[in-house]
Chains A and B, each alone.
Chain A
Amino acid sequence: MSEEASPNFLIRLYQRRDSLRVQALLFTVLPLAILLGVAVAAVFFVYQQVAEQLALSRDQELARVSADRLSENMAHFVLILTTLSNLDIVSSGDPTLQKNALTQTGDLLIDFDGGVIVLNPEGIVTVTEPYRPDLQGQDFSDRPYFQQTRQIRTFTFSDIVQEPGPGEDIIVVAVPIISQDGSFQGVLAGRFYLQFQRIGEEIRKLHTSELGEAYLIDRNGRVIYHPDYSLIGADFSQRVSVSSVMQGEGEGAVITEGPGGQRQVVGYDVVEVTGWALVVQEPWAEVVAPAVNTLRPIIIGLLAAVALLTVIVLLAVQRVTSPITQMAAYSRQVAAGNYAVQAPPYPIAELRHMGNAFNEMVKQISRYQAGLRQYVAAITNTQEEERRRIARDLHDDTTQSLIAIGQRVELARDMIDETPQEATEQLSDLRKMITRTINSVRQFSRDLRPTTLEDLGLVAALQHLVNTLSHQDNMEVSLSVEGTAEGLLPDMEIAVYRIVQEALTNIRKHARASHVQLQAQFLPQLVIVTVRDNGIGFKVPQEMAELANQGNFGLMGLKERAQLFGGQATITSQPGQGTEVQAVLPRYLHPSQSLASPTAEDSSQERPS
Chain B
Amino acid sequence: MRSSPTHPSLWALMRVCMVLLVAAQVLTACARGQTVPEAPGKPPPLNPIIGDEPVTLEVWLSLDFVAPDPLFEEMAEDFERAYPNVTVNIHGFVYESIPGKVRAALQVGNPPDLVQAHVAAMAAQDLAEPMDNLWAEWGAEDNFLPQAIDEVTWNKVKYGVPLDIYTLVLIYNKDHFDEAGLAYPDAGYTWMQFAEDAATLTLPDGSRYGLGFTVEPWYVFAWLAEAGGDVVRGDSFLGYRFTLDDANNIEGLRFLTSMAQNGYGPLPTSRPRDYEDPRKLFLNDQISMFFGTPGDIHRIRTQSPDFPMGVTELPQTPAGAGAASALGTTGLFVPRGSRNRQIAFEFIKWATSDRYALEMARRLGRYPARTWLQTTPHFAGDAMLKPFLTQLNAARPYRLDAFPEVERAYADAIKAAFYGADPADVLQAAQEVADEFSQQSASGP
B266-292 interface code vs A (CB 8 A; 1 in, 0 out): 011111110001001000000000000
Interface stretch (choices B94-102, B112-120, B198-206, B309-317): B94-102
Interchain residue pairs with CB less than 8 A apart (16): A110-B104, A114-B271, A115-B272, A130-B272, A130-B411, A132-B270, A133-B419, A134-B269, A134-B270, A163-B271, A165-B269, A165-B277, A193-B271, A196-B97, A196-B273, A204-B91
Nearest-Cβ distance from residue B430 to partner chain A, whole angstroms: 11
Chain B residues near A135: list those with CB within 8 A: 270
A337-378 interface code vs B (CB 8 A; 1 in, 0 out): 000000000000000000000000000000000000000000
Nearest-Cβ distance from residue A226 to partner chain B, whole angstroms: 11
Contact present for B416 and A131 (CB under 8 Å): yes
**Which residues 222-280 of B sit at the A interface, judged by CB distance below 8 A?**
267-273, 277, 280
**In the complex, B412 has a CB within 8 A of chain A:** yes
A168 to B101, CA, bound (A): 23
Contact present for A198 and B269 (CB under 8 Å): no
Q: Which of B92, B271, B412, B418 contacts A165 (CB 8 A)?
A: B271
Nearest-Cβ distance from residue B114 to partner chain A, whole angstroms: 17
Nearest-Cβ distance from residue A41 to partner chain B, whole angstroms: 37
A377 to B195, CA, bound (A): 142
**How many residues from A make CB contacts under 8 Å with B?**
22
Contact present for A196 and B63 (CB under 8 Å): yes
Contact present for A133 and B271 (CB under 8 Å): no
Chain B residues near A132: list those with CB within 8 A: 270-271, 415
Chain A residue with Cβ nearest B418? A133
A130 to B273, CA, bound (A): 12
Chain B residues near A196: list those with CB within 8 A: 63, 94, 97, 272-273
Nearest-Cβ distance from residue A512 to partner chain B, whole angstroms: 109
Contact present for A166 and B416 (CB under 8 Å): no
Contact present for A110 and B97 (CB under 8 Å): yes
Chain A to chain B: the 3 pairs with minimum beta-carbon distance, closest first: A133-B419, A110-B100, A165-B269
B399-426 interface code vs A (CB 8 A; 1 in, 0 out): 0000000001001100110110000000
Asked if A198 meets B103 with Cβ closer than 8 Å, knowing A131-B416, A132-B270, A166-B277, the reply is no
**Which residues 113-150 of A sit at the B interface, judged by CB distance below 8 A?**
113-115, 130-135
Chain A residues near B269: list those with CB within 8 A: 134, 163, 165-166
Q: Which of B63, B94, B270 contacts A133 (CB 8 A)?
A: B270
Nearest-Cβ distance from residue B65 to partner chain A, whole angstroms: 12
Contact present for A197 and B94 (CB under 8 Å): yes
A197 to B418, CA, bound (A): 28
SS class, residues of chain A in contact with chain B = loop
Chain A residue with Cβ nearest B281? A166
- Residue from A131, A198, A229 with most neighbouring chain B CB atoms (10 Å): A131
Asked if A131 meets B272 with Cβ closer than 8 Å, knowing A196-B63, A197-B94, A229-B67, the reply is no
A134 to B419, CA, bound (A): 8
Nearest-Cβ distance from residue B7 to partner chain A, whole angstroms: 35
- Residue from B101, B272, B408 with most neighbouring chain A CB atoms (10 Å): B272
Residues of B participating in the A interface, judged by any CB pair closer than 8 Å: 63, 67, 91-94, 97, 100-101, 103-104, 267-273, 277, 280, 408, 411-412, 415-416, 418-419
**In the complex, A473 has a CB within 8 A of chain B:** no
Q: Which of B93, B101, B103, B280 contacts A166 (CB 8 A)?
A: B280
Q: Using A130-B412, A196-B273 as known contacts, list a sample of 8 further A-B pairs with CB atoms less than 8 Å apart, ordered by residue number in A.
A: A110-B101, A134-B270, A165-B269, A166-B269, A166-B277, A166-B280, A193-B272, A197-B92
Residues of A participating in the B interface, judged by any CB pair closer than 8 Å: 107, 110, 113-115, 130-135, 163, 165-166, 168, 193, 196-198, 201, 204, 229
Contact present for B270 and A131 (CB under 8 Å): yes
A204 to B58, CA, bound (A): 14
A134 to B418, CA, bound (A): 10
A165 to B212, CA, bound (A): 14
Nearest-Cβ distance from residue B86 to partner chain A, whole angstroms: 18
Chain A residues near B267: list those with CB within 8 A: 134
A193 to B271, CA, bound (A): 10
A551 to B34, CA, bound (A): 119
Chain A residues near B63: list those with CB within 8 A: 196-197
Chain B residue with Cβ nearest A204? B91
Asked if A107 meets B415 with Cβ closer than 8 Å, knowing A163-B271, A197-B63, the reply is no
Chain A residue with Cβ nearest B97? A113
Q: Which of B91, B100, B411 contacts A107 (CB 8 A)?
A: B100
Chain A residues near B280: list those with CB within 8 A: 166
A115 to B415, CA, bound (A): 15
Chain A residues near B416: list those with CB within 8 A: 131, 133
Contact present for B412 and A198 (CB under 8 Å): no
Contact present for B100 and A131 (CB under 8 Å): no
Chain A residues near B408: list those with CB within 8 A: 130
Chain B residues near A229: list those with CB within 8 A: 67
A131 to B410, CA, bound (A): 11
- Residue from A163, A166, A197, A198 with most neighbouring chain B CB atoms (10 Å): A166
Nearest-Cβ distance from residue A136 to partner chain B, whole angstroms: 8
Chain B residue with Cβ nearest A110? B100
Chain B residue with Cβ nearest A193? B272
A114 to B269, CA, bound (A): 12
A229 to B412, CA, bound (A): 31
- Residue from A107, A132, A163, A204 with most neighbouring chain B CB atoms (10 Å): A132
Chain B residues near A197: list those with CB within 8 A: 63, 92, 94
A521 to B268, CA, bound (A): 137
A475 to B90, CA, bound (A): 127
Nearest-Cβ distance from residue A102 to partner chain B, whole angstroms: 12
Asked if A131 meets B412 with Cβ closer than 8 Å, knowing A165-B269, A229-B67, the reply is yes
A113 to B63, CA, bound (A): 13
Chain A residues near B418: list those with CB within 8 A: 133
A549 to B103, CA, bound (A): 122
Chain B residue with Cβ nearest A163? B271
Asked if A107 meets B104 with Cβ closer than 8 Å, knowing A133-B270, A133-B416, A133-B419, the reply is yes
Chain A residues near B97: list those with CB within 8 A: 110, 113, 196, 198
Chain A residues near B273: list those with CB within 8 A: 196
A201 to B97, CA, bound (A): 12
Asked if A168 meets B271 with Cβ closer than 8 Å, knowing A133-B416, A204-B91, the reply is yes
A204 to B61, CA, bound (A): 15
Nearest-Cβ distance from residue B269 to partner chain A, whole angstroms: 4
Contact present for B93 and A201 (CB under 8 Å): yes
Nearest-Cβ distance from residue B393 to partner chain A, whole angstroms: 34
Chain A residue with Cβ nearest B89? A204
Nearest-Cβ distance from residue B106 to partner chain A, whole angstroms: 12
Chain B residues near A130: list those with CB within 8 A: 272, 408, 411-412
Chain B residues near A107: list those with CB within 8 A: 100, 103-104
A223 to B277, CA, bound (A): 22
Nearest-Cβ distance from residue B377 to partner chain A, whole angstroms: 33
- Residue from B268, B412, B415 with most neighbouring chain A CB atoms (10 Å): B415
A163 to B92, CA, bound (A): 24
Asked if A114 meets B272 with Cβ closer than 8 Å, knowing A133-B419, A197-B63, A197-B94, the reply is yes
Chain B residues near A131: list those with CB within 8 A: 270, 411-412, 415-416
A166 to B279, CA, bound (A): 12
Nearest-Cβ distance from residue A602 to partner chain B, whole angstroms: 106
Nearest-Cβ distance from residue B279 to partner chain A, whole angstroms: 11
A168 to B270, CA, bound (A): 12
Chain B residues near A201: list those with CB within 8 A: 91, 93
Nearest-Cβ distance from residue B170 to partner chain A, whole angstroms: 22
Nearest-Cβ distance from residue B220 to partner chain A, whole angstroms: 14
Nearest-Cβ distance from residue B178 to partner chain A, whole angstroms: 27
A196 to B267, CA, bound (A): 22
Nearest-Cβ distance from residue B216 to partner chain A, whole angstroms: 12
Nearest-Cβ distance from residue B62 to partner chain A, whole angstroms: 11
Chain B residues near A166: list those with CB within 8 A: 269, 271, 277, 280
Nearest-Cβ distance from residue A161 to partner chain B, whole angstroms: 14
Chain A residues near B271: list those with CB within 8 A: 114, 132, 134, 163, 165-166, 168, 193
Chain B residues near A114: list those with CB within 8 A: 271-272
Nearest-Cβ distance from residue B386 to partner chain A, whole angstroms: 31
Nearest-Cβ distance from residue B61 to partner chain A, whole angstroms: 13
